[in-house]
């Protein structure tokens, strides 16, 4: 997004009203329990596009969140909208819902382990997440080393991502196959491995979804234009 006027255009949540059921209170984690404390609007000149500035009060802890939201200017289906919340929750409870369930679960555990400073657990969870993601993309092999190479040979992982995956594998290996004399995973390594993992998941899941969303939007816009032409 290069301009706030693009908020809600192309990608977002269904419907043209703010979906507070998607918003968790950043202070007490309670979901969808807000009352409106303030509402302001700014309309784009020479356009029907509107940016909404809402302040919501949490019904549980009485904390406030600011929500900037806008619905799509294109009127196809029942509309879409998107929003940004400030402040955001610092607790990681959920992963992007377009990731497979098992990956969501392991990824959340990797991040939660980082938050409570369990570096070994974070590294091992990150390694497991990597392995599930590769298998989900059809990797075969007797161990993670072979599975990474297998996906690279198939062209699913480009050379840089292959190297990246081996870094995650090596860092996670010590925690997954510990030896009695083994040193604890360091804070830096644990953070790096989870960050490496995020880049990999972005490449394997987020980027393809963005392309798919883009194609869906193009198709819907085309259909709307054709309907308009017919009715004119």
Residue 31 CB, shortest distance to Zn ion, in Å, is 10
Which listed range, 5-13, 18-26, 112-120, 124-132, lies at the site for Zn ion (CB under 5 A)? 18-26
Residues 147, 135 contacting (CB under 8 angstroms): yes
Q: Side-chain half-sphere of 159: how many Cα atoms within 13 Å?
A: 0
Residues 18, 81 contacting (CB under 8 angstroms): yes
Note whether 100 binds Zn ion by CB under 5 A: no
Measured between alpha carbons, how far is 75 from 48 in angstroms, rounded to an integer? 11
Note whether 66 binds Zn ion by CB under 5 A: no
Taking CB under 5 A as the criterion, the residue among 25, 65, 103, 190 binding Zn ion is 25
Residue 98 CB, shortest distance to Zn ion, in Å, is 27
Taking CB under 5 A as the criterion, the residue among 5, 27, 199, 203 binding Zn ion is 27
Which listed range, 23-31, 72-80, 118-126, 130-138, lies at the site for Zn ion (CB under 5 A)? 23-31
Considering only CA atoms, which of 186, 193, 187 is closest in space to residue 169? Answer: 193
Taking CB under 5 A as the criterion, the residue among 16, 63, 66, 74 binding Zn ion is 63
CA distances 10 to 72, 93, 97, 123, 138, Å, are 7, 26, 18, 36, 30
Query: 60 or 226, CB closer to Zn ion?
Result: 60
Residues within the interface to Zn ion (CB under 5 A): 25, 27-28, 58, 60-61, 63
């Amino acid at each position: 997004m290069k301009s706030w006027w693009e908020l809600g255009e192309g990608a977002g949540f269904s419907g043209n009203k703010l979906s507070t059921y998607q918003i968790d209170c950043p202070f007490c984690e309670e979901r969808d329990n807000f009352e409106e404390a303030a509402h302001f609007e700014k309309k784009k000149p020479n356009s029907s596009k509107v940016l909404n500035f809402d302040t919501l009060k949490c019904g549980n802890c009485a904390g406030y969140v600011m929500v900037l939201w806008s619905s799509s200017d294109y009127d196809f289906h029942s509309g879409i909208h998107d929003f940004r919340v400030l402040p955001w929750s610092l607790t990681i409870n959920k992963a992007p819902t377009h990731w497979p369930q098992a990956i969501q679960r392991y990824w959340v555990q990797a991040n939660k382990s980082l938050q409570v400073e369990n570096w070994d657990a974070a590294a091992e969870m990150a390694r497991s997440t990597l392995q599930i993601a590769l298998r989900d993309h059809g990797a075969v092999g007797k161990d993670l080393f072979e599975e990474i190479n297998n996906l690279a040979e198939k062209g699913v992982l480009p050379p840089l991502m292959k190297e990246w995956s081996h870094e995650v594998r090596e860092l996670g290996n010590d925690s997954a196959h510990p030896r009695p004399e083994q040193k604890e995973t360091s804070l830096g390594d644990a953070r790096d491995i989870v960050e490496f993992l995020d880049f990999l998941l972005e490449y394997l899941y987020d980027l393809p979804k963005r392309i798919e969303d883009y194609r869906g939007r193009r198709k819907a816009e085309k259909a709307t234009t054709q309907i308009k032409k017919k009715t004119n």
